[in-house]
């Protein structure tokens, strides 16, 4: 008498299920990142508005925000836009254009970090130290936190770029670029909000 054995069915054997799981996981991660930066920016706003009478937020002689941050903003927007073009090219089965767009995205992210480093160095040269004031501390904390997330996203984007150049993405198989795009779109939006917050709070005249 034959014994019937039940075959275990792994739902993740399905490519579509795996892709959905990856997207869901990335959305959870994006929400966590957004909450982290939201809390950091809210903390900055609370500290900034809790300005005591007779105390200047930015110490006398302390430099304002480096104009290089405007260039950083352009680069982070460029990275996000390059992902849009890469995803469109992959879905249209234009593998060469997809690879080029991902190369540009990777170069843009690296350029963002270089410009950020130059901006920090400019402030150091102008004698703005982290322990000098809350103005300095919050600036380096917020921009440094964002830079860490940029650095953290570089390895996966490098891998995505490598795969794109080898023609691994196409119609119905562009999940890697989708996930990379979602992460970098998030970092772009976070940077815009963060930079606007720092810019609005950098003056000495801001009061409730």
The fold for domain 20-51+67-201 equals: 1.20.120
Contact 134, 154 (CB under 8 A): no
Which carries the bigger pLDDT value, residue 136 or residue 9?
A: 136
Distance CA 163, CA 146 (A): 26
Q: Which residues pair with 170 in a beta bridge?
A: 173
Q: Of 81, 96, 198, 83, give the one whose Cα is nearest residue 145.
A: 198
Per-residue model confidence as pLDDT tens digits over 139-197: 999 999 999 999 999 999 999 999 999 989 989 888 899 999 999 999 999 999 999 99
Contact 202, 58 (CB under 8 A): yes
- Given a cut of 80, whether residue 7 has pLDDT beyond it is no
Q: What is the pLDDT of residue 207?
A: 40
Per-residue model confidence as pLDDT tens digits over 63-110: 888 999 999 999 999 999 999 999 999 999 999 999 999 999 999 999
Alpha-carbon separation of residue 104 from 5, 6, 161, 165, 173 (angstroms): 53, 50, 9, 12, 21
Per-residue model confidence as pLDDT tens digits over 187-206: 999 999 999 999 988 764 44
Kindly indicate the confidence band of residue 10, based on its pLDDT and cuts at 50, 70 and 90. Answer: very low
Q: What is the pLDDT of residue 208?
A: 35
Q: What is the pLDDT of residue 16?
A: 62
Any idea of the CA torsion for 82, 87, 89, 95, to the nearest 10 degrees? 100
27-31, 56-60, 78-82, 182-186: the lowest-pLDDT one: 56-60
Q: What is the pLDDT of residue 73?
A: 95
Contacts of 103 (CB under 8 A, 6+ apart): 161, 165
């Amino acid at each position: 008498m034959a014994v019937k054995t039940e075959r275990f069915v792994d739902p993740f054997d399905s490519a579509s299920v795996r892709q959905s799981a990856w997207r869901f996981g990335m959305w959870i991660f994006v929400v966590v990142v957004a909450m982290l930066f939201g809390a950091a920016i809210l903390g900055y706003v609370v500290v900034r508005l809790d300005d005591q009478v007779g105390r200047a937020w930015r110490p006398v002689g302390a430099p304002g925000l480096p104009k290089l941050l405007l260039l950083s903003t352009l680069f982070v927007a460029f990275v996000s836009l390059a992902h849009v073009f890469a995803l469109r090219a992959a879905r249209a089965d234009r593998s060469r254009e997809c690879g080029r767009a991902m190369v540009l995205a990777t170069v843009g992210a690296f350029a963002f970090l270089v410009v950020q480093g130059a901006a920090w160095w400019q402030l150091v040269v102008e004698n703005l130290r982290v322990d000098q004031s809350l103005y300095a501390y919050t600036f380096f904390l917020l921009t440094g936190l964002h830079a860490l997330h940029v650095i953290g996203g570089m390895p996966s984007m490098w891998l995505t770029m490598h795969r794109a150049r080898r023609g691994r993405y196409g119609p119905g198989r562009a999940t890697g670029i989708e996930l990379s795009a979602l992460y970098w779109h998030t970092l772009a939006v976070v940077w815009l909000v963060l930079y606007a917050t720092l810019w609005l709070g950098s003056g000495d005249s801001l009061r409730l």
